[in-house]
Structure 1
């Protein structure tokens, strides 16, 4: 593991799930090249994924975590297209999550949610009429901007609950974003 890189990590319960496959690729024109960048990206960006099977079940699903570029709209859109082109043809249930650095009314969101996509936004499933919330706060706990962190899932996942996590210790936050969690049934 390269200590100079950000890795979009996937934590899972080893007592409940088996990993059948796991890997990563870089969101660039050379996805196999470590730390590669394209399309005006400010930093190397990547995808981490695993194919998981719940104990006692025959079917498996993919969990995909990413962090898209915060500067280049072209890099975000091309990264989204790469993810879509890699995972959608696999024809398996997906959970796609991460820091997409774009609000749900942007082009990246539309790349994942509209058209022939089966992905659904977990936040909007639970809060369809609620005004959008912000997930970024700049380490001070005051929300600003929009919800740039998403958890998207295809059927047969059913979202039961979502919640913003605002935990801190004496005003110190582990991230400049509030993560949110989703409880899903599979």
Structure 2
């Protein structure tokens, strides 16, 4: 099904976006950085439609390829949201961000941070395992104002060249989740640059983790209503490319997945990005919060 900015919210099944409690609509979306070679698909031609999509759909969104100027546009225009994130090159403003946006009236931030996909994960800009460039994971602990429920959201963009970097980065995320979750439910969004059955996805969804980390499941397979939309999440701005499932929403196994969808959203007949946004409607456990010793 093709959707446009004016009807994306209804057809994407995100009618909960402006509630203060109940199910949470989560989006993972690789925006495609602003490249001068993209011609008619350049960011300035897509940015208003991206804002409309996120504003009308998401409670929480993990974004990838958000560089400083496009990020600034989103911050100015997504006024119902707050956000967390840093540039991957220096831990401040330089390079790509992997930001998490969250609806300000529904959530307040309790904690946040960033770590690098490397053997020195707390060192800004660090690179390991043959990665083409620094890669990061942004995390935030969100407190739902109306209910007191808390959730840990992690967002990442794994390397596109090095399979070792993807796999080791996934293992690092899994290890860090063992520390961050603290009994809370977890949401992990990201562009893994690899598909189901790949080493990164397998490391993250291991059903018997030995490190104390929460068990994660792919929302696509856990959805009570099945998967909706194309199987693939990659378009290249031209057409949905079959067999390219690289964008994901994973959740801890105490989260109920009500819906999962790859959203075919367009503006002026063109895709909003070279990736499809992936949407999941989630029901958090009623007593989700930090574990009490």
TM beyond 0.5: yes
Q: What is residue 138 of structure 1 aligned with on the other side?
A: 236
The 1-side partners of 2:143 and 2:155 are apart by: 17
Give the number of the structure whose alpha-carbon radius of gyration is greater. 2
The 1-side partners of 2:270 and 2:134 are apart by: 27
Maintained 8 Å contact 1:165/1:179: yes
Deviation at 1:95, TM superposition (A): 0.4
Maintained 8 Å contact 1:140/1:171: no
Q: What is residue 118 of structure 2 aligned with on the other side?
A: 28
Instruction: Say yes or no: does 1:101 pair with 2:193.
Output: yes
Residue-by-residue CA offset, 1:39-98 (whole Å, 9 max, x unaligned) = 000121100110011113344220000000011111011101111111124332100110
The 1-side partners of 2:164 and 2:269 are apart by: 35
Residue-by-residue CA offset, 1:103-129 (whole Å, 9 max, x unaligned) = 111121111112235211111123769
Maintained 8 Å contact 1:80/1:112: yes
Deviation at 1:4, TM superposition (A): 4.5
Structure 1 residues 140 and 129: alpha-carbon distance in aligned structure 2, compared to 1, 3 A threshold: closer
The 2-side partners of 1:4 and 1:178 are apart by: 26
- Structure with a larger share of its residues in helix: 2
The 2-side partners of 1:156 and 1:41 are apart by: 33
Maintained 8 Å contact 2:112/2:140: yes
Q: Of residues 273, 276, 290 in structure 2, which corresponds to 1:175? A: 273
Q: What is residue 120 of structure 1 aligned with on the other side?
A: 217
TM-score of the pair, normalised by structure 2: 0.58
Deviation at 1:156, TM superposition (A): 3.0
The 2-side partners of 1:57 and 1:71 are apart by: 42
The 2-side partners of 1:123 and 1:28 are apart by: 28
Q: Of residues 8, 17, 22 in structure 1, which corresponds to 2:98? A: 8
Residue 110 of structure 1: SS of its match in structure 2? helix
Flag the structure with more relative contact order, 1 or 2, with Cα contacts below 8 A and sequence separation at least 6.
Answer: 2
TM-score of the pair, normalised by structure 1: 0.89
Q: Please, which runs of 5 or more residues in structure 2 have no aligned partner?
A: 1-85, 88-92, 285-293
Instruction: Say yes or no: does 1:57 pair with 2:155.
Output: no
Residue-by-residue CA offset, 1:4-36 (whole Å, 9 max, x unaligned) = 422112111111111100111111122222222
Deviation at 1:141, TM superposition (A): 2.8
RMSD: 2.1
What is the number of equivalent residue pairs in this alignment?
185
Instruction: Say yes or no: does 1:158 pair with 2:256.
Output: yes
The 2-side partners of 1:30 and 1:175 are apart by: 32
Maintained 8 Å contact 1:104/1:147: yes
Q: Please, which runs of 5 or more residues in structure 1 have no aligned partner?
A: none
